[in-house]
Every structure is written in C-alpha cells, then in structure tokens.
Amino acid sequence: MLRTYGPGCEGAIVEAKAEKIPDAATWIDLEEPTKEEEQLVERCVGLNVPTQEEMAEIEPSSRLYERNGALYMTISVLSGITDGTPGSTPVSFVLTNDRLVTVRYGTPKPIRAFEEQARREPETVQDARHALVGLIDAIIDRLADELEHVGGEIGELSSAIFQENVQDRRIPAEKLRKLLTSIGQVQTLLAKIRYTAVSTSRMLNFLAASNRMHEQGGEDIHRHLASLTTDVTSLGEHATFQSDNLQFLLDASLGLISIEQNAAMKLFSWAAVVFLPPTLIAGIYGMNFDHMPELHWLLGYPWALALIFATGVLPYLYFRRRGWI
C-alpha cells in the first residue's frame, strides 16, 4: 500500500498504476509494497527503494549510508505489544532534498500514531526533515510509554515476591510457573526495547553527522535531534536499570524457592531422626526369638509402648530446645 502525506495529501492512497505521485507529498509511506508500487516511487523520486532482504541486514554499514545525495537509514522498531508477542520490525527511511520515503513490512504503533497526527496537524509533515524527526519522536515516545508500563509490571512482581506475611511468600507450583513466566515475558519486552533504543541511537548519530541536517533553516531540526539523542540515551540507561532490577527479582524468587525446598528437606530430616528410635525398638520386639525375657513380662507391652513414646518425644524436645525446628 502506498500513502502520501503533506500539504493536500492527508494519507491519500496512490494506486500503483498512477502516472505520478502528487508533487505536494513530503512523506511517501510504503507498507508491504508491491513491485509496481516500488517502481512507481523509484520512477517519481529517482532513487532505489530498499528491498525486504536489504532491510534485514544488521550491520550498521548496511543500514546507515548515503547514496547519490540521499540518506538511507533502517532501524528496528518495537512492535507486537498489543498482541502479547513483543518483537521488532525493520523500518527503512530514505531522505532526499524534498521527500521522505518509508518502507516497512509491518505497522508499529508509533507509526500509526504519527499518521493520525499528520492528518490532524499537516504542519508536522510540512517538509521531509520535519516528517522524519516527527516519526523518530513518535518511536521514542512509544519506548518511554512501554518502559513506564514495564516499571509497573516489575512493581507488581516485587509485591508478589516480597509479601509482608511470611506465609504468603510460599509459592505453590502453579503460582511459581506463572511468576517465572511473567518475569521472562517482561525480560523479553525489555530486550526488544533496548534493541530499538540502540538502533534509534545509531540512526540519530548518523543524522546529526550528515550535512543534510546542517543545511540552511535546519537549526531547529538539529536542536530537536540533539534532544532526541539525549532522550533515547536516557531510555537505554533506564532500560538497563529495569533489566538489573528484574534480574534481582528473578534471583530473589529463586532464593525463596530454595528456602522452601530446604525447609521441606529439613522437615523430612528431623522427622526421620524422631521416628528412627521408635522404629528401631518396634523392630527389635518384633523379632521372633525364643528367648526374649521382655515378652513374658506382665508389664512388657506397656514397657515397649513407653519406650517407643520416650524415644520419639525426647529427640523432638531436644530439637525444639536447640531451635532446629
């Protein structure tokens, strides 16, 4: 699908069989483009549109370069949050003198949000550079929102792990699986956020060093880029902090599990010690020998019961006194 934005082009769809793209279009958005749509853009703008295979390259030299006066930039944008499957999709930006071309094979939420903004406020896409900076701003804002959401989830996990009531800290197997699954999901989301932040930071550094952003009349654009660079750096540092905090919660939950396991093993250990002497006595008097004087005593049976009881209770009282149970 090919859409155009700019003065008089409020997201209008351009058919692949059209003769040309509107001259007023400052932002040309290609979403899962067909071969005919790519050829139309290449013919009207005079540049090569990055293919899906080229967008999948991960080397910085393959994602950020300048060719024939146009800046080619590809970043990985956070996506799939609303579906519960966080991931990243590559989005390519091609900046020429008067037009911005974006190529994508997905629809990340910040791009949808910026499309709506471009329809409501056409001045945000008054030229190609403003459109590019606006898109990057929307991507970074989305990262900030997701980091805030992650902070809330980490707070909930912390409350679930560090209960004030000691009895509430005991984690049943089903609850444990849910807890560890939640920690893993949050960690996956954090990894995708950090990946997008690093990718965006590289793009901003590339833009700041290009001559295109230092052309006449671009002072406000350059200041905005500097602000965005500071923001994305701060978000990256905050994501690292959140990841360290999540690692602490994982270690704490595993520690609590270990404590529960040790307590269970301790219970079995002292129970075995308490019941071992009575079992030994019962075993002795259960042997079938002819000469066992106690078997002929009048008080032999009460004697055996009292001895079994004493050998069971005395170790228990001793362990209690020492604070072992």
Judge if 256 and 266 occupy the same domain.
Answer: no
CATH code, domain carrying 294: 1.20.58.340
Judge if 251 and 282 occupy the same domain.
Answer: no
Of 249, 139, 248, the C-alpha closest to 195 is: 139
Q: Indicate the burial class of 285 (C-beta count within 10 angstroms; 0-12, 13-18, 19 or more).
A: middle
Contact 1, 26 (CB under 8 A): no
Judge if 136 and 11 occupy the same domain.
Answer: yes
Judge if 181 and 294 occupy the same domain.
Answer: no
Radius of gyration of the chain (CA): 35
> According to the model, what pLDDT value does residue 171 have?
61
Give how many domains the chain has, as a whole number. 2
Structural domain of residue 288, as residue ranges? 261-322
Judge if 206 and 97 occupy the same domain.
Answer: yes
> According to the model, what pLDDT value does residue 297 have?
80
Judge if 267 and 213 occupy the same domain.
Answer: no
Judge if 302 and 167 occupy the same domain.
Answer: no
Q: Which of 260, 278, 313 is the last residue of a domain?
A: 260
Q: Which of 216, 241, 260 is the last residue of a domain?
A: 260
CA–CA gap between residue 88 and residue 172 (Å, rounded)? 35
Q: Which of 260, 282, 302 is the last residue of a domain?
A: 260
CATH code, domain carrying 118: 3.30.460.20
> According to the model, what pLDDT value does residue 166 have?
57
Q: What is the pLDDT along the chain (325 residues), one digit of tens a residue?
A: 888 888 878 777 888 787 788 888 889 899 888 888 888 888 888 888 887 877 777 665 678 888 888 899 998 888 888 777 888 888 999 998 888 999 998 888 898 888 888 888 888 888 888 899 999 999 999 999 999 999 898 888 888 778 766 555 556 667 778 888 888 888 888 989 998 999 899 999 988 888 776 666 667 888 888 899 999 999 989 998 999 998 998 888 888 778 777 777 777 777 787 788 888 888 877 777 777 787 778 787 888 888 888 888 888 787 778 776 6
